[in-house]
């Protein structure tokens, strides 16, 4: 036996895994961590702290949790608090009910692989209210450890890399990167369709058609269409007409629709409103409603609560073949079960305090404050970004990101290429070094050839956003000057 | 467009998924739920409640959580409790530290995909203490949403179903069923090796050799050896000699070792002790320690805390090729991140209260009570099971299950077969209908052809176990009579 000789070398790693693209942003994230350490060690820098806005995580940036939710959770964890004066009455009665629904009265017990039954029921009633009465069966709801896991579950079932008929998945450009990684992980073929930045990031049907045609050359069989509405990173909200077109396209081309609607509660643009794919599908009549296969996704990580760390999301299947559903159940059960704390938070969000209950005023005020901050921040960002020469920006209507286009001097592009870096990553790294702001490069999310973007999160305390925006503005002017 | 015609029918489902075997126990679990409903509706039955012991979940059956852990969690969720007299000092200072380590001071923020850094550090120090100083690098620790996810992560990397060289995985019989499902999900080839019931469920090297030889005929390339120690469902604890033999076998045959050690804290047998694969590997000298690739697994679902619902486990890589590790990181990051509450519980378990701290006495007493119940229950089970003619039983030394062998009259076997049921599932269904006890059939876990077993969990309150045992005893006698 030769020491040091490994059994598993790179060659033995599953080839679909080996073919995955690593997000380039990794370099940036590591560098941000190093800089934080350097600051702690007293290394002088032109800024006091790193501000990480390359991901959508309000809590990490100082947004406050919703008190009611956290109080319910505290009592569920430590039931002696059920008798404590320190918690409002409605919190205690809520927590009692939650505990009664858990096996053995403990949130520490396993639950069914598709989630706690009462939570699935709450979700289905919530969806019915949201969609003005369109029926929703709790049996079609699967609760998962985050929306990302729900996306993975569906891909696992439908996408494969066997033989000549690899599964083709239509994905937007730009997109939510972990979705793309999940497609790669399953060995699927990505069929990118570009959203139109010129048309305020709209989804254009001709572009979907073009993308589908390219599949023919790729020995793959296109089967899934992924849409993100409201958009990440674009912040665009689809109109009813646009959703109808997409549904008709899916019906004609026999595509399984995956509608990622995790930002449904983060819509703040004037004259726009979130319409679920399911509601629109229903209103298109039985011919569509009983045939088009749709799965939609939601998450407690987004909305006004932003509870990312608890990992809880859900999906709803519409029109899934019952035989196929059996397998969904099965694949899901391999994972054991979703974490309970997130499920109880989800249940609480689906059943907020009612008028007259002690926690109603604070809950309502905190929810509004979170949504107001987001809307306010979006306007603030728009004003600043529109005032910077060399940055063009489509104002966002929803979600929690800005995705401005950065016009980079060609000397800067050359310098980046000489260093083997995507130009916008080069830009982001410089921005980080000089201002402490960690934004994400558009090249990770996808963008039209030759264009460059950055993405940053705006669901952060307004004071921090002001620092981000002014840092970006002065950095951009300096950067442009340096490379002109 | 023809209504009702589905895009995704069974034929389009990923074939590795379609080939997965559903655990037969599903029927039993649904029937148990129905019976519970019937009881609630007042349908008369010869018992008052269903007792579900087909899985290993103490909390579900009424075991109490460890107060200290739950108090720390309550304060992390609702930081106003940090100033509350209702919580001991050490709880509050622990919670403060935990919150400081979370981004933005909130446990609601995302963390690194491999887990919170301070938790990985705690785990590595814990492992060093456990193994008498064998070094452990926090960079080799990945925290996951349950040990099941850690197992899936490793399988995802190493197991594939491409072309002729499907990956072969040596799995024990009987085994932990979700592991087998995870292998199937990846399209790997199962290479079963039988544990020897005659030798108190020992792992015999000749049997591993035999299993490996069968791989030759199966167009697969055996690469992974999965061991469970302490055993589920066998409750057997491997001796140093046995572990050494397995390690030598893995070294000679160039197998990647997956050591599932989730029951490491549940050892109660006389004269037996848990030895980690890593410690034994280390003590076999550098020739082995620097070459054999090993991953070991642990979980907060087991041990004395039994916090299953929070979904937290971890793995430690030993000798993983650094290039391969990069991919592990990547596959892991597709999942986003493990849930924070479970991580904080894990951290608290790795750093229990110290003598002199206010919570030390209660924590220590509660831990001991949980472990004592388990040991006491094991003796109780042994006494009863050994007194039933037609049941033979190898006493367990560890974990939390009994796995007695049921000698079924041949007429009972025929009746089961006529109904298309595995004989032991038939037995379990009858046991459920007549006594309300839901135990799991051995056919799901694997057993030697022609033998029949049932598995039930013994980490439950002793009063409940008494009901289980006496129900089983009288049922078995009646059943045997009926079919003789
Ligand atoms: C479009 C989109 N879908 C899904 C997710 C995943 O959310 P979760 O935290 O629930 O996994 C995100 C997270 O950023 C997202 O942006
Ligand atoms: C042998 C074994 N490994 C792993 C697990 C999974 O544990 P977790 O709850 O951490 O996913 C179990 C659960 O029963 C088990 O018995």
Q: What is the DSSP string of A322-336?
A: HHHHHHHHHHHHHT-
C-alpha angle B357-B362-B367 in degrees, rounded to nearest 5: 115
Q: What is the mean pLDDT of residues A456-483?
A: 97
Q: How far apart are CA B11 and CA B364, in angstroms?
A: 55
pLDDT score at A163: 66
pTM: 0.96
Q: How confident is the model at residue A1 (pLDDT cuts 50, 70, 90)?
A: very low
Q: Which of A153, A274, A302 to mutate to test the pocket of ligand 1 (most atoms within 8 A of CB)?
A: A302
pLDDT score at A164: 65
pLDDT score at B176: 96
Residues of chain B with Cβ-Cβ distance to A178 below 8 Å are 334, 336
Q: Give residue limits of the domains in chain B.
A: 20-57+367-483, 110-350
Q: What is the mean pLDDT of residues B91-107?
A: 97
Q: How far apart are CA A1 and CA A19, in angstroms?
A: 31
Residues of chain A with Cβ-Cβ distance to B161 below 8 Å are 162
CA nearest ligand 2 atom 15, residue: B176
Cβ within 8 Å, pair A108-B310: yes
* In the predicted structure, residue A132 carries a pLDDT above the cut 50: yes
Which residue's structure tokens are 């974990």?
B399
Sign of torsion over alpha carbons B376, B377, B381, B382: negative
Cβ within 8 Å, pair B103-A57: yes
Q: What is the mean pLDDT of residues B281-305?
A: 97
Give B11 or B82, the one with higher predicted confidence. Answer: B82
**CATH architecture designation of domain B110-350:** 3-Layer(aba) Sandwich (3.40)
Residues of chain A with Cβ-Cβ distance to B293 below 8 Å are 6-8
C-alpha angle A214-A220-A221 in degrees, rounded to nearest 5: 100
Q: How far apart are CA B83 and CA A67, in angstroms?
A: 16
* In the predicted structure, residue B93 carries a pLDDT above the cut 50: yes
Q: pLDDT tens across B452-468, in order?
A: 999 999 999 999 999 99
Q: How confident is the model at residue B4 (pLDDT cuts 50, 70, 90)?
A: low
The answer to whether A55 touches A438, Cβ cutoff 8 Å, is no
Average pLDDT in chain B: 95
pLDDT score at A269: 94
Pick the closest to residue B314 from B66, B148, B156 (CA basis): B148
Q: Does ligand 2 have an atom closer than 6 angstroms to the CB of B264?
A: no
Q: Does ligand 1 have an atom closer than 6 angstroms to the CB of A232?
A: yes
Q: How far apart are CA B390 and CA A265, in angstroms?
A: 61
The answer to whether A116 touches A101, Cβ cutoff 8 Å, is yes
Pairing of strands A220-228, A256-260: parallel
* Least confident residue range of A78-92, B91-105, B319-333, B438-452: B319-333
Residues of chain A with Cβ-Cβ distance to B5 below 8 Å are 291
Q: What is the A100 CA–ligand 2 centroid distance (Å)?
A: 25
Q: How far apart are CA B244 and CA B262, in angstroms?
A: 19
A5-32 exposure pattern, b = at least 16 Cβ within 10 A, e = fewer: ebbbeeebbbebbeebeebbbeebbebb
Instruction: Compute the nearest-CA separation of A342 from chain B (Å).
Output: 9
Q: What is the B299 CA–ligand 2 centroid distance (Å)?
A: 7
Q: How far apart are CA B286 and CA A370, in angstroms?
A: 57
Cβ within 8 Å, pair A254-B74: no
The encoded tokens of residue B297 equal 């697994």
Q: pLDDT tens across A396-454, in order?
A: 999 999 999 999 999 999 999 999 999 999 999 999 999 999 999 999 999 999 999 99
Q: Does ligand 1 have an atom closer than 6 angstroms to the CB of A377?
A: no
Q: Which of B115, B148, B238, B300 to mutate to test the pocket of ligand 2 (most atoms within 8 A of CB)?
A: B148
Please name every residue paired with A190 in a beta bridge, in sequence order, or none if there are none. A169
Residue % of chain A over a pLDDT of 90: 88
H helix runs in B386-461, sequence order: 410-418, 423-435, 442-445
Average pLDDT in chain A: 95
pLDDT score at A2: 42
If DSSP codes are grouped into helix, strand and coil, which group holds residue A30? Answer: helix
Q: How confident is the model at residue B164 (pLDDT cuts 50, 70, 90)?
A: low
Q: What is the mean pLDDT of residues B150-172?
A: 90
* In the predicted structure, residue B5 carries a pLDDT above the cut 80: no
Residue % of chain B over a pLDDT of 90: 88
pLDDT score at A3: 45
CA atoms within 13 A on the CB side of A264: 19
Q: How confident is the model at residue B108 (pLDDT cuts 50, 70, 90)?
A: very high
Neighbours of A482 (CB within 10 A): 12
pLDDT score at B3: 45
Q: How far apart are CA B284 and CA A211, in angstroms?
A: 58
Q: Does ligand 2 have an atom closer than 6 angstroms to the CB of B299?
A: yes
Pairing of strands A189-194, A166-173: parallel
If DSSP codes are grouped into helix, strand and coil, which group holds residue A198? Answer: helix
Q: How far apart are CA B343 and CA A22, in angstroms?
A: 26
Residues of chain B with Cβ-Cβ distance to A139 below 8 Å are none
CA distances from A143 to A121, A138, A306, A348, B26 (A): 11, 10, 17, 14, 19
Pick the closest to residue A145 from B26, B73, B152 (CA basis): B152
* Least confident residue range of A288-292, A323-327, A404-408, B421-425: A323-327
CATH 1.20.1560.10 fits A20-57+367-483, yes or no: no
Q: What is the mean pLDDT of residues A284-295?
A: 96
Cβ within 8 Å, pair A108-B158: no
* In the predicted structure, residue B262 carries a pLDDT above the cut 90: yes
Q: What is the B246 CA–ligand 2 centroid distance (Å)?
A: 21
Q: How far apart are CA B431 and CA B446, in angstroms?
A: 20
* Least confident residue range of A214-228, A257-271, A465-479, B39-53: A214-228
Q: How confident is the model at residue A376 (pLDDT cuts 50, 70, 90)?
A: very high
Residue % of chain B over a pLDDT of 70: 99
Of A60, A71, A331, the CB nearest to B78: A71
Instruction: Tell me which ligand sits closest to the C-alpha of residue B174.
Output: 2
pLDDT score at A5: 62
For A77, phi then psi, to 5°, come to: -70, -40
* In the predicted structure, residue B299 carries a pLDDT above the cut 60: yes
Q: How far apart are CA B251 and CA A293, in angstroms?
A: 50
Q: Could you tell me how far CA A44 lies from the centroid of its own chain?
A: 36
The encoded tokens of residue B128 equal 């060093």
pLDDT score at B1: 42
* In the predicted structure, residue A22 carries a pLDDT above the cut 50: yes
Q: How confident is the model at residue B161 (pLDDT cuts 50, 70, 90)?
A: confident
């Amino acid at each position: 036996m030769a020491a040091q000789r490994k059994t598993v070398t790179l060659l033995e790693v599953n080839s679909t895994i080996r073919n995955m693209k690593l997000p380039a942003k990794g370099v940036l994230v590591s560098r941000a961590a190093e800089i934080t350490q350097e600051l702690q060690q007293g290394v002088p820098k032109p800024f006091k702290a790193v501000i990480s806005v390359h991901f959508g995580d309000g809590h990490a940036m100082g947004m406050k949790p919703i008190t009611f939710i956290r109080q319910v959770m505290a009592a569920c964890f430590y039931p002696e608090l059920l008798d404590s004066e320190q918690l409002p009455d409605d919190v205690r009665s809520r927590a009692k009910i939650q505990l009664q629904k858990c096996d053995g009265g403990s949130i520490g017990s396993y639950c069914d692989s598709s989630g706690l039954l009462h939570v699935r029921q709450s979700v289905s009633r919530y969806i019915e209210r949201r969609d003005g009465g369109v029926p929703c069966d709790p049996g079609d709801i699967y609760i998962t450890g985050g929306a990302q896991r729900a996306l993975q579950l569906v891909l696992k079932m439908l996408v494969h890399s066997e033989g000549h008929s690899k599964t083709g998945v239509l994905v937007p450009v730009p997109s939510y990167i972990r979705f793309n990684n999940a497609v790669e992980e399953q060995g699927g073929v990505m069929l990118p369709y570009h959203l139109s930045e010129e048309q305020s990031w709209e989804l254009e049907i001709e572009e979907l058609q073009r993308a589908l045609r390219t599949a023919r050359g790729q020995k793959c069989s296109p089967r899934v269409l992924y849409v993100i509405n409201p958009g990440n990173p674009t912040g665009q909200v689809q109109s009813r007409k646009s959703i109808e077109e997409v549904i008709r396209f899916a019906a004609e081309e026999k595509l399984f629709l995956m509608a990622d609607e995790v930002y449904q509660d983060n819509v703040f643009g004037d004259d726009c409103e979130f319409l679920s794919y399911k509601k629109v599908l229903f209103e298109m009549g039985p011919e569509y409603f009983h045939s088009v296969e749709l799965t939609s996704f939601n998450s407690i990580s987004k909305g006004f609560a932003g509870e990312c760390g608890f990992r809880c999301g859900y999906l709803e299947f519409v029109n899934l073949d019952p035989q196929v559903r059996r397998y969904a159940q099965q694949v899901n059960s391999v994972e054991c079960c979703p974490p309970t704390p997130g499920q109880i938070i989800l249940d609480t969000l689906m059943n907020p305090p009612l008028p007259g209950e002690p926690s109603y005023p604070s809950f309502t005020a905190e929810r509004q404050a979170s949504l107001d901050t987001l809307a306010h921040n979006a306007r603030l960002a728009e004003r600043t970004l529109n005032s910077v020469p060399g940055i063009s920006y489509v104002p966002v209507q929803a979600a929690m990101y800005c995705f401005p286009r950065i016009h980079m001097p060609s000397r800067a592009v050359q310098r980046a290429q000489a260093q083997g870096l995507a130009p916008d990553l080069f830009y982001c790294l410089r921005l980080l070094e000089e201002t402490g702001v960690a934004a994400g490069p558009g090249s990770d999310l996808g963008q039209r050839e030759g264009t460059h973007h950055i993405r940053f999160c705006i669901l952060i305390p307004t004071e921090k956003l002001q620092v981000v925006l002014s840092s970006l503005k002065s950095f951009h002017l300096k950067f442009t000057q340096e490379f002109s």
